Amino acid sequence: MTTTAERSPAPTGRTGTTTPVTRIREHARTRPDAVALRDKHLGIWREWTWTHYWDHVQLAGHALPRKLHLTEDSYGRCKRER
């Protein structure tokens, strides 16, 4: 006999949808020191916590608009610079 744990409702962003970013942010908030990822570098396994993972997601997210030459319009939507 198996049992299943109850799942909490998925976190949502400003638009009311669940995205990978909202999931990572929620994990970083609720279990900051738990292991999110493990990778092997030069034969040594490294662990990334949810907080560390969230920091990298934020860094990439903030760098992306500049790299793609995007700006926000008055409604907060991204548009390409001309």
Look at residue 80 and give its three-state secondary structure: strand
46 assigned to some structural domain: yes
Identity at 9, one-letter amino acid code:
P
Q: What are the φ/ψ torsions at residue 44 (nearest 5 degrees)?
A: -115, 130
Q: Range of 76's domain?
A: 20-80
CA angle, residues 59, 60, 64, in degrees to nearest 5? 120
75 assigned to some structural domain: yes
CA angle, residues 35, 40, 18, in degrees to nearest 5? 40
Q: What are the φ/ψ torsions at residue 10 (nearest 5 degrees)?
A: -70, 140
Return the percentage of the chain with pLDDT > 70, whole number: 57
Give pLDDT tens digits for 7-45.
555 555 566 678 888 999 999 999 999 999 999 999 999
The count of domains in the chain is 1
What is the average pLDDT score of the chain?
A: 77
Which H or E element spans position 21?
helix 20-30
Q: Would you state the pLDDT for residue 12?
A: 56
11 assigned to some structural domain: no
Please report which confidence band the pLDDT of residue 64 belongs to, taking 50, 70 and 90 as the band edges.
confident
8 assigned to some structural domain: no
